[in-house]
Each structure stands twice: as structure tokens, then as C-alpha cells.
Structure 1
């Protein structure tokens, strides 16, 4: 009997072919995981896990993880094949979930995190795993509310306004705009966030600035506050503040809205004593002097008010001195 010597390179080649056949074949490939990135609290959500397999192999098991904790598995050759693992605040529907599909019911903020699907081939134990992230959110109860303001302001006054967005998770982002332009940072106070009893947050952003001429546009200032949350929520509220009419005292005009008529002394023959003619003059009806409020309502300005009342005063004097 003759023995054939085996060359070392033949051993290496045989080993490579065995490994290629047993473990190097792509019996499992193209793993795809679908997990919604954002879900509203209280809703049901579905995860999906799909893959491609070689005809000569099959799947031994599909497993789902929350972070590093296993929450579901389906080992197809076991009886029963499906098993879930108790985890606080997780509600997996075992009747619908089969590995390719995983149904979470009534999601809550504790369900936010990273999820992984692991697929294991039967013959080769070739394993693929892929991850995806989900965030559970709660939208604000209503659009942002602007408070702390009045209807009319004058130049030089200070506006102090507050914008509030209630009950969201995570906290809403707030922004102020003046006449559709972003408010200066020195007008803003730091954002305040208050945690509520139901694990939501209320956001508050204050605005404070002194009014200048350039703030009024056509006699008004428009203030807008916007509230946003990730990429799924955006709401705004706007108020319009009007310019108040300046006070008469600020314009150097007496506060009394009536003009006093002053009579000058006449010639000597008419200035001795009060005569019957004087009595007649006193009996004549006096034309009322227009008030500032009446003229303003009629569309006249302050300067027109002064001119009109001066003319009326002269007319009254001329009537009295006849």
C-alpha cells in the first residue's frame, strides 16, 4: 500500500473551502429595520424587521432589544416559539408580534430609546443586527399665549410681555418676533421650564424692551411668539399694540380743553362802567371753542387744533366788541 504525501498548501486550500461553505456563505443578508422616529404618547406603534435568506438555509431566531435588554424573541423550532420579557412600562402585543413585526401598545415616555432587531440563521448561525431610535412626545395643549401687555403704548414706555407654552414633552422651544423680525437677544430673559405633574413641561419666555420711534410701523407694533417641538409641531400667536395719543401736557398745551376768552379794554367812553350795551354783549350767545378730543375724532392733528382755536377765539372777540 502506498501513502500519498499531502502538501501543506493542499491543507490550507481545503480548510478555506470548508470555511467558505459552512460559514462564509451569504445565507443571511440585507437586514432592514423600520422604527418610527417620533410617536405621540398613548398611541400604538409597529416595528418591522425584514431580511433576505439563501434557499439552502432558514432562520433560527428573531430577537428584539430595548438598548441591551431583550424584550421579545421568536425561536421558530421551540414550542411555544414566542416569548416576551417583562419590562416596566412596556406593553407588547404577543398575538400580533412575530419578530418580523413587533407591536407596542399605549406607548409612553419610558419607551423612548434605541431598539435593535437581531436575526440568526439556522445552519450557519450567521447573525445580523440593526438598530433604530424612537422618541415618544406629547404636543402642547394649545398655541402659545402672550400675556402681560396692554392695548396702547407711548414712545419711551417699557413693554414687558410673557409667552407661555403648556404641557409638552420634551419642552417646547419659544421665540419672539417684533414686526416679523427676530427679537434682539438683549430683549429676552432666559427660558424658564417648569416640570408638571404628568411628566410634561411648561415653557415660559419673557420679552422686555423700551419703545423707540422705529418700533412703531404705521402706528402699531406687532409682537409674535412661536412655539416649536422637533420637526412635528409649530404654532404661533400675534398681538398688535397701538400707539397712544400724546398727552397735552407733553406738548406744552394746557390740560383744560376749553380756551379762555380775554377781553381787552376799549376806549375811555366805553370803559367807565358796565352799561346797557355791556349787558347786551353778555346776552349774546358765545360760539363754543372746539375741544381737542372733538377735532382729533374729526381727523385733525394737534397743530390744526391750535390754529382752529386761535381763529375761533379771534371771531369770538370780534363779536363781543361790536
Structure 2
């Protein structure tokens, strides 16, 4: 009796370890419009493959069954376009990604009878959109008094997800919390968002401001210059001096 139980347990262990997912390859982030190849590496340990199925958020979109002819089949799913010619038992190729392509992707592998044992693995893929447009800066056109708090705001171009914004003053990133005014991302058309960040640093003569929008390894930026009344008066005075000097030279030559 005991030997029979031991035999059954050993048989169960043997069957349960026959199939395993060695690894799943799903990129963490892709850009809208890109293509992607997802890989599912498995080891049957001598067993026979029954099927490989791919799911996004628990909805099946691709199936490979070697017994069928053709062995591949793609299901219609919003945001998922399968390229059957570039897909196989161990990979699935998607083209023309959209924002709806984001989600949790799962690979499920099953063995043939008698075990029909299965194994699965999953990973999340984010799909982003980052416009080539630079951020927009408002409030820099007016003249400020020295030490007057700036009233400058930066808005990113429409993107998904909402990009991170940074302010830089004369090449140094602003980290002083009291100088930064954070806004919640603003919803835009087609599921996109606009990020906004205000700057309230004290004005100084001839400040160079740069706003940087960041998403993954991509950056977009715009630079403006803030002038103060003292700067304007100084520039005006310099022009007056130049004018007077030129007038003196011309009159001196005329007299000579």
C-alpha cells in the first residue's frame, strides 16, 4: 500500500515538472505605432506540445496548436494586430501598437495527453505616446521686478502617460519645493494628457529658464529668457550712452 502511494507521488512529481516556462520576453514600454515581438520560451522535458496561447488582460488573441492546419490562429482584439507570418510556437509579433495595446500579457503552454499539464507566465507592457513638440512656456513675456516671484507655467505637448516636467534656471535644475507649483495632469482628446508645472522663483536680471518634458529616455525642452526692469533700464542706458558717443564723434568730425 505504501509503495503504491509513493509510486503515485513520484509519478505526479514527474508529470508536474515535465513542462516549465523558461522565460517570457515582453518589453516594459513601447511607443504608439511601433511593432513588438513577444517571446515565450518553454521546456517540454520530453513531452509533446498541445497548444500555446497568448492573452492580453485575460482575453485570448493568439493560439498555436501543432495538430491543426494551419497551426496558427489569431482572435480579433482591440489594440492587438497579430502578424501571423512572423509568429510561431515560441513568439508572437504585433504591429501598429495603439494606446489600447497596453496591458498584462500572458503566455500559457499546455502538453498533450495524458498529462495536459500547463504552465504560464505574464508581464505588463505599457504603450506610450510622446509628441515631437516642445513644451510651451507662458508668463515669461512680461517684465519682472528684481526679487519679484515669477508667475511662469510650463505645459507639455499632449502625451500618454503624462510626462514628467522639470524646471532649470541658468542650467541648474530647480529642486526647491516652494518655487514649484504642481498641477494635476489635464485630460486631452484620444486618451492623452497634458502635464503642467509652475515656477515661482524670485526674479533676477537676465534669467535663462528651461522647461524639460521627460518620458522614458526621451526629452523635449524649451528655453526662454526673463528680463527684469533693472535689466531693461540698464540696456536702455547703454543704448543712450552709445547714441551720445556716436553723436559726439559725428559732431567732432564735422567741426574738424
TM-score tier after normalising by the smaller chain length: 0.7 to 0.9
2:240 to 293, 302, 307: 293
How far apart are 1:109 and its partner, in Å? 0.8
Summarize the Cα distance change of 1:77–1:15 in structure 2 as closer, same or farther, 3 Å threshold. farther
1:201 to 188, 193, 215: 193
Q: Which residue of 2 aligns with 1:288?
A: none
| TM value normalised by structure 1 | 0.64
Summarize the Cα distance change of 1:247–1:296 in structure 2 as closer, same or farther, 3 Å threshold. farther
| TM value normalised by structure 2 | 0.79
How far apart are 1:41 and its partner, in Å? 0.5
Summarize the Cα distance change of 1:169–1:242 in structure 2 as closer, same or farther, 3 Å threshold. same
Q: Which residue of 2 aligns with 1:174?
A: 165
Q: Which residue of 1 aligns with 2:76?
A: 86
How far apart are 1:64 and its partner, in Å? 0.8
Larger Rg: 1
How far apart are 1:72 and its partner, in Å? 1.6
How far apart are 1:244 and its partner, in Å? 4.0
Quote the Cα distance in structure 1 between the aligned partners of 2:40 and 2:73.
17
Which structure 2 residues correspond to residues 109-258 of structure 1 after superposition, within 5 A? 109-123=99-113, 124-150=115-141, 153-179=144-170, 180-182=172-174, 184-211=176-203, 216=204, 219-229=205-215, 231-245=216-230
CA contact (8 A) 1:31 1:130 kept: no
Summarize the Cα distance change of 1:297–1:31 in structure 2 as closer, same or farther, 3 Å threshold. farther
Q: Which residue of 2 aligns with 1:275?
A: none
Q: Which residue of 1 aligns with 2:4?
A: 14
CA contact (8 A) 2:23 2:40 kept: yes
CA contact (8 A) 2:107 2:122 kept: yes
> What's the CA shift string for 1:33-86, capped at 9, x where partnerless?
10111111011111111112223x221111111122222212222344322222
Summarize the Cα distance change of 1:222–1:296 in structure 2 as closer, same or farther, 3 Å threshold. farther
Instruction: Name whichever structure is richer in strand by fraction.
Output: 2
Is 2:88 the counterpart of 1:98? Answer: yes
1:41 to 29, 32, 42: 32
Q: What RMSD, in angstroms, separates the aligned Cα atoms of the two structures?
A: 3.0
Which runs of 5 or more structure 1 residues have no equivalent in the other structure? 1-10, 249-256, 258-290, 299-322
> What's the CA shift string for 1:105-156, capped at 9, x where partnerless?
1111111110111111224222110011101100133232323213864325
Which runs of 5 or more structure 2 residues have no equivalent in the other structure? 246-256
Residue-pair matches, total: 239
Quote the Cα distance in structure 1 between the aligned partners of 2:69 and 2:41.
23
Which structure 2 residues correspond to residues 274-313 of structure 1 after superposition, within 5 A? 293-294=240-241
Greater relative contact order (Cα < 8 A, sep 6+): 2
